[in-house]
Structure 1
Amino acid sequence: MRKTLLIVLLSFLTIPLTITGASVALPGIRAELGASLAATQWVVNGYNACFAAFLVFAGSLTDVLGRRRVFACGVALFCASSLAGALAGDILVLNVVRALGGIGAAAATTGGSSILAAAFDGQARSRAFGLLGAVLGAGLAFGPTAGGLLVDWLGWRAVFAVPAVISAVVLSLVGALPRLRGGEGRTVDWRGAVLFTTSLLLLIFALDEGPALGFGSPLVLGALVAAVAFGFVFVVVERRSADPMVELDLLADRRFVAFAVAAGALMGILVPLVVYLPSYLISVVGMGPGQAGLWLLMLTVPAVVLPPAGAALARVRPVATAAGSVAISGVGALLMVTVGPGSAPLGMLAPFALVGVGVGLSNGVLDGLAIAGVPQERVGAAAGLFNTARLVTETVVLAGVGAMLAALSGGRLDGPSFTVALHAACVALACLAAVATLSVITLAGTRRADGGNGPVPGRDPDRTESKESVTDW
């Protein structure tokens, strides 16, 4: 069992590394490949979009085809795409293989998680998933630093080559994993998968290409309209499906939605900053890639060291912990407007640390709060929907911030215009935090979407709550 845990954890280490590490490499990629800003943004946005879009679909495949098979295919695709990215001599090729890498990461994530869930039980399962969260947090926290040092020492291609090597090692060990079949009688929701994936990708395309083509252009407007239409049809199809990809009736639980909103907002604040601050620190403040990655530790390390404190707070005041975490990160984002070309690194400590503290207090905690009231037989579906909501929010906000930066900087992430654009984006992120904080407070007051006192769909009607919602504060 230890070997199984080691193999899965090793594969998960590369997933955040290839997101945050790539952010430090963006200036070098753009310079060497002569790419436009919009094209360069797809290096991160394409990976994130495909990761989010295919996560639930990959979960359906895991149930049908088997856990080890989906995990192995995902790791293989991720490995091949990372290697191809390291060798790419054209931005279009790099973006295509990055998108494929996102699909591979989605399959590896769902397959690996389901392997751990099946291979362990009781306290052993809790410890396994605790280590899994720690690995993901460490990858997110130290990814910019590792990426910056790799770019300094070996160039931007090393940011993709190193994950390729690690995933190749994982692939060589897959045979040691237990053979675990999928769920009996499950089917793949192909219609739901196509509709959801298409809707999200069209939305990301419109946000990413809007600044270059113009948001009033027929292509961008058509993509936005089509994204909304596909999203609407997806909801209709999922509600009528006998075996849906996403169990939308979980959204009737307002506390579940509240914690999902908090998680999405926190990642929506953190990830755009992790992606675009390295470019700002390198091109405007004048740091090297390695130095920029080191200073970003002020932003990311709290996400690793503070979850135990957040868990302790959440046991006493769950709603206050969720809302407060978002509010703290929002204040940090607002204080980012004090960071400018002449900023000393220590002057960045307060805004960076506040964003990191907000994320750290809730990292992994919100997941537990969201599914705590869900019946045991629906925990898997709830966790899948929760993670999808968080990833989709993160991906959409990342694309939106990228569009804002491109529009306000005139398509150039350097010079005084970059400072103006970054400050405007940070104010927008602070506004997102304010709206999300109020939403969490409002939504967490009751469990019913209609304000009634009856049972939530899928919940045990005999289950009683130990406290009134007001005492959660």
Structure 2
Amino acid sequence: MTPAAILLALLILPTSVTGSGVALPHIGRDTDASLAALQWVVHGYNLTFASFMLACGSLADRFGRRRMFGAGAVLFTVSSLASALASDVLVLDVMRALAGVGAAALLTSSSSILAAAFQGAARTRAFAAIGIVTGAGLALGAMAAGTLTDAFGWRSFFALHAALMLLVLLAVPLIDESRGASSARVDWAGTATFVGALFLLMLGTVEGPHWGWGSTEVLGLLAGSAVLMGAFVMVERRVRHPMLDLKLLRNARFMALCLIPVVVTFSFVVLLPLLPNYLVVANGSSSRAAGTTMLVMTLPILVTPLLVGRLMAWGLTTRGVFGLSLVCLTAGTGWLAVVLRPDVGLSALAGPLVTLGVGLGLNFGLVDGAVLTVVAPSATGTAAGFLNTLRLGSEAVVIAAVGSALVNLARGRMGEGLSRFPAYGDGADELANRVNAGDLTGPLTSVPSESRPEFSDFVAQGLTDAWQTVLWVSAAICAALSVAIYAMLGGSEPDKGQGTEPASAPTAAADAVPR
């Protein structure tokens, strides 16, 4: 019952990330909300989800993983139900932010609970199951949300989350409690400064493309984040029981495992919200057709984790599996840069997209299990929190940065030849913003009908040039990180100390990570 409840929770969380965006047009029509308020239905959840991850993991180590899991389930259930009943978009924004806090508590505690409940090969299978269900939520969340909102309205999406999470709540009393240094005092100063620093960083990154990266508001947010992060480091060095034992950051294998999701972000995750817009503009695809194309990339996540056990049975170490995953992610990104062109067909896209999906599937779940084998049992909540902070924080920052880079690059490409279409009077800035958002129909209405085919080709080529530049840079970053990660995974045993010694019970994942 316990594994089923945890896996159900882990299926729900990614659907809330990918599905909320699909519901936005329906929410906007129903609430008459402004675009800025509407976007915070997604941003509010994502920001609190990432910002509270490490704090929730640390608190789970202090107060108990089952207790934190139950608290997260209660908060997620109540806020999802309130979201379904909300009539004002600002109330909905607040409820979605609270749901993000609940999601952080659920995610960080769940992996620690499973790590304590299973050993050896059973633990490997449990974390492979995590990869499968999380991948299913990621792959199918948008489709499920679209089906629900079209048939029953947007409220049904959040109501279903509340109903499913209620089933998870019923299983909480059956979960065995586990905790770390429960007698230690909570590091409230460290918790507050870290959450504040990360929240300001992500807020500044999310709003940078809209407010301007050089604006006073964005620079102020980034400066505030730097100040709070400096304060956090000072606090952690002085308190007796820090929220984050900084010795963890000197554990090369732990840091290598935590950097794997960053490679995933640069190669795979960044494509999820942005590539469909390219396909709509450069290929003339419908939104539904673009979404179907993305399934080619996401569906391999559902089956590839099953291959990991077979590969390890054939003698491949966990380090080898991770190395193969990183090669697929890096090669898939570069391959996509090579084949991407206006009117590219699914046959050309299938190779790189499947390669990317396989690359993610090879490490999905496995990295979550492996990271808990290189820290002390008392620090598994903190370790899971740090891993997922890097995972979700890098997603928010990189997606915003890449989106901004695409707009700037497309503006430069299109600005050079836009004078050939004097009828279009909105300028390269407006054109770049609109086509990167997936809207070519609007700009086409400003151009005479006889010039529209040439204008479409011009826009598609400029957008393709921008995408190829971004993809090659992403591939280079992935390659550099991959080399560093593989080298760090082969590093020596970390120094013994609080939160850094490996768990004493041998596991398949632990044995496979090189020592």
Q: TM-score range by the shorter chain?
A: 0.7 to 0.9
Whether the 8 Å contact between 1:192 and 1:238 is mirrored in structure 2 is yes
2: CA distance, partners of 1:119 / 1:200: 32
Moved more, 60-69 or 362-371: 362-371
Residue 334 of structure 1 aligns to which amino acid in structure 2? A
Residue 436 of structure 1 aligns to which amino acid in structure 2? C
2: CA distance, partners of 1:369 / 1:64: 22
Moved more, 216-225 or 147-156: 147-156
Task: Report deviation, 1:317.
Answer: 3.1
What is the SS of the residue equivalent to 2:487? Answer: coil
Residues 235-289 of structure 1 deviation map (CA, whole Å, 9 limit, x = unaligned): 2222333222222222223343333223222034433322344566678845355
**Residue matched to 2:169:** 171
Residue 474 of structure 2 aligns to which amino acid in structure 1? L
What is the SS of the residue equivalent to 2:240? Answer: coil
Whether the 8 Å contact between 1:247 and 1:385 is mirrored in structure 2 is no
**Residue matched to 1:386:** 387
**Residue matched to 1:415:** 439
2: CA distance, partners of 1:124 / 1:32: 48
Task: Report deviation, 1:56.
Answer: 1.7
1: CA distance, partners of 2:256 / 2:337: 23
The verdict on how the C-alpha distance between 1:168 and 1:309 changes in structure 2, with shifts beyond 3 A counting, is closer
The verdict on how the C-alpha distance between 1:181 and 1:87 changes in structure 2, with shifts beyond 3 A counting, is same
2: CA distance, partners of 1:38 / 1:329: 34
Whether the 8 Å contact between 2:256 and 2:489 is mirrored in structure 1 is no
**Residue matched to 1:210:** 208
1:432 aligns with 2:474: yes
**Residue matched to 1:248:** 246
For normalisation by structure 2, the TM-score amounts to: 0.76
1: CA distance, partners of 2:6 / 2:202: 30
Task: Report deviation, 1:196.
Answer: 1.3
**Residue matched to 2:295:** 297
- In the TM superposition, 1:87-98 aligns within 5 A as 87-98=85-96
Whether the 8 Å contact between 1:23 and 1:278 is mirrored in structure 2 is no
What is the SS of the residue equivalent to 2:186? Answer: coil
What is the SS of the residue equivalent to 2:270? Answer: helix
**Residue matched to 1:321:** 324
- In the TM superposition, 1:55-454 aligns within 5 A as 55-178=53-176, 183-277=181-275, 285-287=284-286, 289=288, 292-309=290-307, 312=311, 313-315=316-318, 317=320, 320-331=323-334, 334=337, 337-338=340-341, 342=343, 344-367=345-368, 370=371, 373-374=374-375, 381-404=382-405, 410=430, 412=434, 413-416=437-440, 424=466, 427-428=469-470, 430-442=472-484, 444-445=486-487
2: CA distance, partners of 1:332 / 1:161: 41
The verdict on how the C-alpha distance between 1:287 and 1:139 changes in structure 2, with shifts beyond 3 A counting, is same
Residues 153-180 of structure 1 deviation map (CA, whole Å, 9 limit, x = unaligned): 3344433232122112323443444455
1: CA distance, partners of 2:184 / 2:471: 40
What is the SS of the residue equivalent to 1:306? Answer: helix
Residues 349-384 of structure 1 deviation map (CA, whole Å, 9 limit, x = unaligned): 234323222212322344455555556665554444
Residues 307-327 of structure 1 deviation map (CA, whole Å, 9 limit, x = unaligned): 344562554735632541331
Task: Kindly report the root-mean-square deviation, in angstroms, between the aligned alpha carbons of the 2 structures.
Answer: 3.6
Whether the 8 Å contact between 1:267 and 1:394 is mirrored in structure 2 is yes
2: CA distance, partners of 1:292 / 1:383: 34
1: CA distance, partners of 2:176 / 2:38: 40
The verdict on how the C-alpha distance between 1:57 and 1:377 changes in structure 2, with shifts beyond 3 A counting, is closer
Whether the 8 Å contact between 2:206 and 2:397 is mirrored in structure 1 is no
1: CA distance, partners of 2:195 / 2:121: 36
1: CA distance, partners of 2:338 / 2:78: 41
2: CA distance, partners of 1:62 / 1:317: 32
Task: Report deviation, 1:53.
Answer: 1.3
Residue 415 of structure 1 aligns to which amino acid in structure 2? D
Task: Report deviation, 1:135.
Answer: 1.6
Moved more, 84-93 or 409-418: 409-418
Whether the 8 Å contact between 1:16 and 1:136 is mirrored in structure 2 is yes
Whether the 8 Å contact between 2:132 and 2:303 is mirrored in structure 1 is no
Moved more, 350-359 or 212-221: 350-359
The verdict on how the C-alpha distance between 1:460 and 1:213 changes in structure 2, with shifts beyond 3 A counting, is closer
The verdict on how the C-alpha distance between 1:275 and 1:75 changes in structure 2, with shifts beyond 3 A counting, is farther
Aligned-pair identity in percent equals 39
Which has the higher Rg, Structure 1 or Structure 2?
A: 2
2: CA distance, partners of 1:376 / 1:64: 12
2: CA distance, partners of 1:169 / 1:85: 18
Whether the 8 Å contact between 2:14 and 2:141 is mirrored in structure 1 is yes
For normalisation by structure 1, the TM-score amounts to: 0.82
Q: Which runs of 5+ in 2 are unaligned?
A: 412-428, 444-458, 505-513
Residue 321 of structure 1 aligns to which amino acid in structure 2? L
